[in-house]
């Protein structure tokens, strides 16, 4: 029986260029997202899960977990297809900043820019540095930072 491998749609390392920009689709953050994330992570902090408490808190209403926003940003980046079938490893997050809250009903997207590339032939690819800006529906930055991903090199013909 022949096994079918998933079709590659992502970019190989050599197809990434410094300065290249990609914008993800948007996604609206729901109450269900927050409840599900609280259950998964065990983080039931009242600023996320208690409407009465949050109403009297700094932002006046419940906010999404910061790490939920980061997780959604990761999913949005994957939805672009640029890493589908070519990413070898998510290596590092650098300088991640949470600058604004994400509220229930906010729609976020990610603006991605390739900051640098570094061949790593011994690992079968190269390191791609992605500058990530998570934006809300009002075009305000809610979080930002840099991701380093190891991406497969273009296969050589045998």
Q: What is the 3-state secondary structure (H, E, C) of the chain?
A: CCCCCCCCCCCCHHHCCCCCEEECCCEECCHHHHHHHHHHHCCCCHHHHCHHHHHCCCCCCCECCHHHHHHHHHHHHHHCCCCCCCEEEEEEEEEEEECCCCECCCEEEEEEEEEEEEEEHHHCEEEEEEEEEEECCCCCEEEEEEEEEEEECCCCCC
Assigned domain for 28 exists: yes
Q: Is 130 inside a domain boundary?
A: yes
- Angle, helices 31-41/66-79, rounded to nearest 10 degrees: 110
Greater model confidence, 81 or 9: 81
Share of the chain above pLDDT 70, in %: 94
Supply the CATH number for residue 127's domain: 3.10.129.10
150's CB contacts (< 8 A; 6+ apart) are 87, 88, 89, 90, 91, 120, 123, 125, 126, 127, 128
pLDDT tens readout for residues 103-155: 999 999 999 999 999 999 999 999 999 999 999 999 999 999 999 999 999 98
Query: What is the per-residue pLDDT for 1?
Result: 56
Its pTM stands at 0.90
* Within a domain: 142: yes
pLDDT at 158: 60
How high is the pLDDT of residue 48? 97
| Per-residue pLDDT, 5 | 54
**Residues 90-104 pLDDT 10s:** 999 999 999 999 999
Q: Is residue 1 part of a domain?
A: no
Decide if pLDDT at 3 tops 60.
Answer: no
Domain that holds residue 113: 13-152
118 vs 8 pLDDT, higher one:
118
Give the whole-angstrom CA distance, residue 97 versus residue 110: 14
Q: Is 141 within the bounds of a domain? A: yes
- pLDDT value of position 8: 67
What is d(CA 82, CA 9) in angstroms, rounded to the nearest whole number? 7
Query: Could you tell me the two tokens for 139?
Result: 């075009």
Let me know if residue 23 belongs to a domain. yes
pLDDT at 4: 56
Residue 4 covered by a domain: no
Nearest to 64 by CA among 93, 94, 78, 43: 43
Mean pLDDT of the chain: 94
The count of structural domains within the chain is 1
Residue 158 covered by a domain: no
């Amino acid at each position: 029986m022949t096994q079918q491998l998933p079709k590659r749609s992502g970019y190989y390392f050599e197809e990434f260029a410094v300065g290249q920009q990609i914008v993800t689709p948007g996604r609206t953050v729901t109450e269900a997202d927050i409840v599900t994330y609280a259950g998964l992570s065990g983080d039931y902090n009242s600023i996320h899960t208690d409407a009465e408490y949050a109403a009297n808190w700094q932002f006046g209403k419940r906010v999404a977990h910061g790490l939920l926003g980061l997780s959604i940003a990761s999913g949005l980046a994957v939805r672009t297809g640029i890493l589908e079938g070519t990413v070898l490893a998510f290596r590092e997050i650098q300088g991640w900043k949470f600058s604004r809250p994400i509220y229930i009903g906010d729609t976020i997207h990610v603006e991605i820019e390739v900051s640098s590339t570094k061949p790593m032939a011994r690992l079968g690819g190269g390191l791609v540095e992605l500058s990530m800006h998570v934006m809300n529906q009002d075009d305000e930055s809610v979080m930002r930072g840099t991701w380093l991903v190891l991406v497969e090199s273009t296969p050589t013909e045998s």
